[in-house]
A and B are shown apart, each in its own frame.
Chain A
Amino acid sequence: MPHGCGRVRTGATFIPGAESLYNIRVRIRSQTTADDLYRPVRDALNAWHKSGRQGALDFLEIVRDRVQRLPEKDRPGALRLKTNEVLLEAIEQLEGEDPDGAAILRRRFLDRQTVLAVAHRHSLDKRSLMRRQEAAIRALASDILARERGLRLEQRRRFEAGLPSAQYSRLFGVRGAAEKLRARLLSPDPPWLAALTGMGGIGKTALAHFVVRDLFDELGPDGVFWLTAAPAGAHSQEAHFERRYLSLLGELARRLDVQAVRPEDRQERVRRALKASSSLVVIDNLESEAEVAWLCERLPELAGPARFLLTSRSLPPVSAEVHTLPLEELPYDDAAALIRFHSSSVGKESLAIRTEKDIRAVYAATGGNPLAIKLVVGLATRLPLPQALQGLERGQDGSVEEMYRRIYARAWQALPPDARRLLLSMPLAADQGGEPAQLIAASGLDEAGFWQAVSELVSRSLLHTQGDAASRRYSIHPLTRTFLHSLILQQDERDGSGSLH
């Protein structure tokens, strides 16, 4: 099965082991036509007066969604009731466009009149009636399909609204890791905790986002809870972990609609709700090894079959029941594809890095680290490649931290003054980003200079854009923050005469 249908959100209640239904679902989300729905709708009309599942349109979200809203959703007949409701609404819709067709359907299926009787009533011969009936059912199928698509679109929007905005336009070299992660998140077996680990800038958040965003069909519109870990702040470590955990429980309780007064009761209710669901909780960007270890002790109480995905630079403790997926640097071919793509996207086409020799040089300097590649490619849009790479050669014993330090230092040197000034203001912005007004005031740039600097830094992957079309915020990668802090401290250790020019 391509999508691990064992974890289809509806579960056993609505899909009694019928693979064909799953197939219909697959077709519905991609290229389903009204013709594909003709038979199921006809069967559903035929089963109007039956009490069982037969003919129920249980593969449609518009039916399942209504059943889920029923106070007694498991009661017998719920599915039939809601299937008929959907059919009836479609027939009512048809009445406006084809009153005869709607009347034929009502008489044939709701009033259970014979073909002959209805044909007689409509002054048609039997064959003509059957043709009219078929056309009316096709119109019904078309209307139902349009409403199904509308609902799915709305659900998709709801699903995506719960995720952070993507900080990538295309990912490279993640197919294998994405498949493994996807398989893990859809596996019906424990362990229920997964950790995506790897060095800074390797793309943990991007990969998690990429995979989770694609799980809409499996997890449903409300099946994912994405939480971004906040920095530790001023609290003691333990108190900070406790507060974050409490906040996590509160958020889950709210979204699962299982509030309880006392935290211990709430935890129990969240636990029970998660035990009865196949939701996914993502906790992104955990900073410390201690917190990963702390969570690995607490989360198993809540997990199973619900899953938790943690992203962190730190590995979970060996003793923890966690499936760890380490993210490695990109192999050469993928890194080369990223270099070519990013180079064409951020600079002039004529200056793009294309030759094997140049690509190999960038790869040698950055390894397969995507952020490092983007930074170096950004640098190469302003400097000739040999100058951009000067001093960035990665020695045998060169650590990743050292590589980043050198790349950032070189990127910093190559920035125009206004862009430097803005970048140097960024440590003062919140993790969620600073508003333009704050950054303009802090950097001392005029508005035109500020936007120019934004454009410069974004093109060099030194600044991220957040927010929506109406309001923007600008943030930096944690590694960029680390570099800027070290830059400030370095100058501090000298004599403070550091200059931007």
Chain B
Amino acid sequence: MALAAFTEITRDNLRYWQTRLAAASHPERPALEAHAQGLQRAMAFGLQQESNREEALSLALQLAPLIDARGDWLDWTDLFEEARRTALAQGHPLATALHNRLGSLYKSCYRHDDARRAHQAALELSRRSGDLQEEVNALLGLSELEHLRHRYEQAESLARRALQRCREGNLEDTRLAAAHNLLGMIAHNRGDYEEAEKRYRRAIDIWRRLDAGRHCAYALSNLALTLQSQRRLDEALEAIETARPLFEASGAWLSVVNSQLSLGTIHFLRREYSQALLAFSAIDWLKLERLGYEEPLGWTTNNLGNAHLKLGNYTEAAEYLEYSAALWRSLGDGVALGNTIGALAEAYAGAGQPQAALQRFEEAIALLAEHPENAWAGDRKARLQAQKEALERKARA
């Protein structure tokens, strides 16, 4: 037991932060970035004191969605790990929820194996304790991890189980929406756009009903991608335009990054390349890099590279695309890498370096060929193949 007065101070400090987080209106939330160290100290001292553990664990759960929204995961994983250990050691009922939150943090940090272990542990604990909500959370977490590995069959099976458990428990909440959203993503990647659209719209309806703006915005962005794939660009733009204020109102900077990426992509598909470049350039990608957000950084640099490519700025294009490719390599995402290398091939072709271009075309095609389960990868491969053949014909001529 620590100094009695300090224990009281730690408790009052924890309550101060709990109240402040609960009261913070969305636009103020980014300001909490300035208080990260204060919050970490509140949690760390609280976890060390027996009488304050409950409050510290509650603060951890309160903070988790905020950390997730602003994406400052790296700074928090160790502390959440400690919170999980503390909760487990005490057999605290919050242990299951902390496993799931930690799983999400690990997933966001690209520590997929750690994330899988955390969600798996949450799944087992929740089944033992009959905690249906955390069981669904664990199933959704595991499904998402399979989806990230492009293992759509396994991802679908887990998401359907989550959906089933929601129905059994009459869970008409954000989990149900998340399950539909996830099934939409899986359908989209398989090229089943009709099913994807149906799922996304159900997720959007539920999240709208729950007034969960940021989540709704994500589903709208996903819907926009599906609509883009069907070349229904006006509808896609409408979805993005609906999502943007929701993202912005959530105060979650990373959400706005995603929205900006979607907006730029729509301009890109409409061949409004300067506007696309403007939208992508509005993203503070150095901040993404500094904070270690490799996936959105990979997309941002890929998109910047593509916009420059279409504007004929081949040197800039190659610079961004090479960086994006390096990120995909480090993340081990073969589909994204194949796509980016394909664009790099186009940049080299545009810059009058046919040999380098052909080499990149071959590399991209080989990478995309490894993912027959991904419909989009298949389309992209076919288009790159055609471009490669055209370049070869030109070279021969």
Contacts and interface: CB of A to CB of B under 8 A. Distances in A.
Interface of A: 231, 233-235, 243, 246-247, 250, 253-254, 259-263, 265, 420-421, 424-425, 427-432, 434, 437-438, 441-444, 487-488, 491-492, 495-500
B2 A434 contact: no
Interface stretch (B73-81, B124-132, B387-395): B73-81
B4 interface: yes
9 smallest CB-CB distances across A and B, nearest first, come from: A496-B1, A234-B78, A441-B16, A491-B3, A442-B13, A430-B37, A498-B3, A430-B38, A262-B323
A499 B5 contact: yes
A492 B34 CA distance: 30
Contacts of A495: 1
Nearest to B16: A441
A441 B14 CA distance: 9
A424 B286 contact: no
Given A234-B78, A441-B13, A496 B41 contact: no
Contact of A492 (B3, B42, B75, B320): B3
Size class of the B contact interface (CB-based, 8 Å): 35 or more
Given A247-B290, A261-B301, A492 B1 contact: yes
Contacts of B286: 250, 253-254, 259
Nearest to A422: B9
Given A430-B38, A491-B6, A498-B3, 8 more contacts: A233-B40, A234-B40, A234-B76, A427-B41, A428-B9, A428-B42, A431-B37, A441-B13
A96 B187 CA distance: 75
A369 B353 CA distance: 66
Nearest to B81: A234
Nearest to B286: A250
B15 A424 contact: no
A300 B322 CA distance: 27
Nearest to A421: B5
20 contacts: A235-B75, A243-B292, A246-B290, A259-B286, A261-B301, A262-B323, A265-B319, A428-B9, A429-B41, A430-B36, A432-B37, A434-B38, A438-B13, A438-B16, A442-B10, A487-B3, A488-B3, A497-B4, A498-B3, A499-B5
B35 interface: yes
A395 to B, nearest CB: 29
B170 to A, nearest CB: 40
Interface string B32-65: 0011111011100100000000000000000000
B8 interface: yes
Interface string B210-247: 00000000000000000000000000000000000000
**Which among A247, A442, A444 has the greatest number of chain B C-beta atoms within 10 A?**
A442
B289 interface: yes
A246 B74 CA distance: 15
Given A234-B78, A262-B326, A441-B13, A428 B38 contact: yes
Contact of B4 (A260, A430, A498): A498
B194 interface: no
A496 B38 contact: no
Contacts of A442: 9-10, 12-13, 16
A251 to B, nearest CB: 9
B75 A233 contact: yes
A420 B75 CA distance: 31
A233 B7 CA distance: 23
**Which among A261, A263, A437, A441 has the greatest number of chain B C-beta atoms within 10 A?**
A261
Given A263-B289, A265-B319, A430-B41, A500 B13 contact: no
A437 B77 CA distance: 28
B75 A234 contact: yes
A262 B9 contact: no
Nearest to B301: A261
A444 B12 contact: yes
Given A246-B289, A488-B2, A261 B9 contact: no
Nearest to A263: B289
Contacts of B320: 261
A497 B3 CA distance: 6
